[in-house]
């Protein structure tokens, strides 16, 4: 897609979002009927995710050349992602202690939402065992991306060790990767209408909780949003500039379509195809780095989610009048970081994973019910930051020494 068309589509997406909010608020029933147009867009993105993740990881891994380079790149990627997630959680914990949004709010209306209830008792051990798929097709059909990534890493690594015998298979996946990216471009053309219909539908559906955005939960929402903004417009741009010398403003504008899609879909995974397109084609990040780093980022790197989980846990503690010691806050720091890694890139996943954080410090799960009503909105905000963080990770890793060498295969 050329730059001019890309810009027109981006403007269309932003206009679609604004119009969607207005129409959703003013003529909700009509927008609920138009919702299927949004589902068409969303399904279009989702349909390429599984083949794209597998092909992209395999192409990424095999183009890294040898197992040592793969090891170094994986290590750097995971370290970078963990470090930035840690920074964002720290910002969240500091803010929630300063603003104290939960003090003086009563816990009337606390309940455990169904989807959270089914995750009761989930531990970090479950997250680890879930990494190895017992059946890759089942993982694919149920949209479990992380196990697919683990399999593709292994598959790609083994393929590149096969020499001549592996080459045709690698070429096949290179072709699949390219074809999927072409489909993504076609789907993006539908973006403005998709964004309009999805945002309109979600606003129409949540009209009744819109007043909470400005009343009781106001300070909580402010805390989350200020935290996300600090991470997105101060921490991450500084990192981008320091490591890559790229202009953060230009990088941000080039990511526009992906960020608009993230806000609209509340899913890093569904956004992944657009993220790859923006990072590779518009921001010119090394394709070998992007195709390896981005699928990983969409599933394990969630800066916004981690910040959100820490803020929400401390907010619930404040509502229940529970004084959390320094030690307990350190536990929240660690579990929020780990829970964000384990959260799937789908709507509400971060809030469901709060079970782990709350359990770790003995807070009542019912507290989740207090924040559930506005999760549809905060989920969008944190998903946008998640995707922004992934894209910066790709730029930084693309700048490292492994990618200054020419492609080997």
Q: Minimum distance from CB of 250 to ligand ASP (Å)?
A: 24
Q: Which of 267, 283, 329, 399 touches ligand ASP by CB under 6 A? A: 267
Q: Which of 346, 354, 395, 396 touches ligand ASP by CB under 6 A? A: 346
CA 179/CA 163 separation, integer angstroms: 25
From the list 76-84, 185-193, 283-291, 346-354, the region that binds ligand ASP by CB under 6 A is: 346-354
Answer yes or no: are the C-beta atoms of 278 and 192 closer than 8 Å: no
Structure tokens at 350: 């971060």
Q: Which of 153, 202, 266, 358 touches ligand ASP by CB under 6 A? A: 266
Q: Give the three-state DSSP class for 31.
A: helix
Q: Which residues contact 297 (CB under 8 A, 6 or more apart)?
A: 77, 81, 268, 389, 390, 391, 393, 394
Q: Which residue is nearest to ligand ASP (CB)?
A: 350
Q: Which of 37, 349, 394, 397 touches ligand ASP by CB under 6 A? A: 349
Q: 208, exposed or middle or buried, with CB in 10 Å at 0-12, 13-18, 19+?
A: exposed
Distances in Å between the Cα of 24 and the Cα atoms of 72, 98, 211, 218 are 48, 35, 15, 21
Rg of the chain, C-alpha, whole Å: 21
Measured from the CB atom, the residue of 347 and 367 that comes closer to ligand ASP is 347
From 60, 62, 65, select the one nearest 77 (Cα to Cα). Answer: 60
Site string for ligand ASP, 207-246 (x = CB under 6 A): ----------------------------------------
CA 344/CA 346 separation, integer angstroms: 6
CA 255/CA 373 separation, integer angstroms: 29
Can residue 342 be called a binding residue for ligand ASP (CB under 6 A)? no
Q: Which residues contact 265 (CB under 8 A, 6 or more apart)?
A: 42, 45, 198, 271, 347, 383
N-to-C CA span, the chain:
27
Q: Which residues contact 219 (CB under 8 A, 6 or more apart)?
A: 99, 100, 101
Measured from the CB atom, the residue of 160 and 268 that comes closer to ligand ASP is 268
Q: Which residues contact 17 (CB under 8 A, 6 or more apart)?
A: 195, 196, 199, 260, 263, 264
Q: Minimum distance from CB of 343 to ligand ASP (Å)?
A: 5
From the list 78-86, 173-181, 263-271, 362-370, the region that binds ligand ASP by CB under 6 A is: 263-271
Q: Minimum distance from CB of 387 to ligand ASP (Å)?
A: 7
Q: Which of 301, 348, 371, 399 touches ligand ASP by CB under 6 A? A: 348
Measured from the CB atom, the residue of 69 and 351 that comes closer to ligand ASP is 351
Answer yes or no: are the C-beta atoms of 305 and 340 closer than 8 Å: yes
Q: Which of 343, 361, 371, 394 touches ligand ASP by CB under 6 A? A: 343
From the list 142-150, 187-195, 226-234, 345-353, the region that binds ligand ASP by CB under 6 A is: 345-353
Site string for ligand ASP, 291-310 (x = CB under 6 A): -----------x--x-----
Measured from the CB atom, the residue of 311 and 349 that comes closer to ligand ASP is 349
Q: Minimum distance from CB of 407 to ligand ASP (Å)?
A: 31
If binding means CB under 6 A, how many residues of this protein chain bind ligand ASP?
A: 17
Can residue 345 be called a binding residue for ligand ASP (CB under 6 A)? yes
Residues in 375-404 at the binding interface with ligand ASP, rule: CB under 6 A: 379, 382-383, 386
Which residues of this chain interact with ligand ASP, rule CB under 6 A?
266-268, 302, 305, 343, 345-351, 379, 382-383, 386
């Amino acid at each position: 897609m050329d730059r001019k068309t890309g810009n027109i589509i981006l403007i269309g997406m932003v206009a679609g979002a604004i119009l969607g909010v207005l129409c959703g608020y003013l003529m909700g029933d009509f927008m609920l009927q138009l919702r299927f147009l949004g589902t068409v867009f969303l399904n279009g993105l989702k349909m390429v995710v599984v083949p794209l993740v597998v092909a992209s990881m395999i192409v990424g891994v095999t183009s890294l050349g040898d197992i040592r380079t793969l090891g170094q790149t994986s290590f750097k990627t995971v370290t970078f992602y963990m470090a930035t997630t840690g920074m964002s959680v720290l910002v969240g914990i500091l803010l929630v202690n300063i603003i104290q949004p939960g003090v003086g709010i009563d816990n009337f209306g606390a309940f455990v939402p169904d989807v959270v209830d089914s995750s009761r008792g989930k531990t970090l051990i479950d997250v680890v065992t879930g990494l190895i798929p017992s059946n890759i097709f089942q993982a694919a059909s149920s949209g479990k991306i992380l196990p697919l990534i683990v399999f593709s890493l292994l598959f790609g690594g083994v393929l590149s060790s096969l020499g001549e015998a592996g080459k045709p298979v690698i070429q096949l996946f290179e072709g699949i990767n390219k074809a999927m990216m072409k489909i993504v471009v076609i789907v993006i053309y539908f973006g403005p209408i998709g964004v309009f219909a999805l945002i309109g539908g979600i606003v129409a559906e949540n009209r009744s909780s819109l007043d909470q955005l400005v009343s009781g939960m106001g300070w909580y929402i402010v805390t989350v949003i200020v935290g996300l903004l600090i991470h997105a417009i101060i921490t991450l741009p500084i990192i981008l500039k320091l490591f890559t010398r790229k202009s953060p403003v230009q990088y941000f504008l080039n990511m526009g379509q992906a960020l608009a899609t993230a806000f609209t879909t509340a899913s890093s995974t569904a956004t992944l195809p657009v993220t790859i397109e923006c990072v590779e084609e518009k921001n010119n990040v090394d394709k070998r780095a992007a195709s390896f780093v981005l699928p990983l980022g969409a599933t394990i790197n969630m800066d916004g989610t981690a910040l959100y989980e820490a803020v929400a846990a401390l907010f619930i503690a404040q509502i229940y009048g529970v004084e959390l010691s320094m030690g307990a806050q350190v536990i929240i720091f660690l579990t929020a970081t780990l829970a964000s890694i384990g959260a799937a890139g789908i709507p509400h996943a971060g809030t469901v994973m709060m079970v782990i954080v709350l359990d770790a410090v003995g807070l009542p799960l019912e507290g989740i019910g207090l924040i559930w009503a506005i999760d549809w909105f905060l989920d969008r905000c944190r998903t946008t930051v998640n995707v922004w963080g992934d894209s910066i990770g790709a730029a930084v890793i693309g700048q490292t020494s492994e990618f200054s060498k020419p492609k080997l295969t």
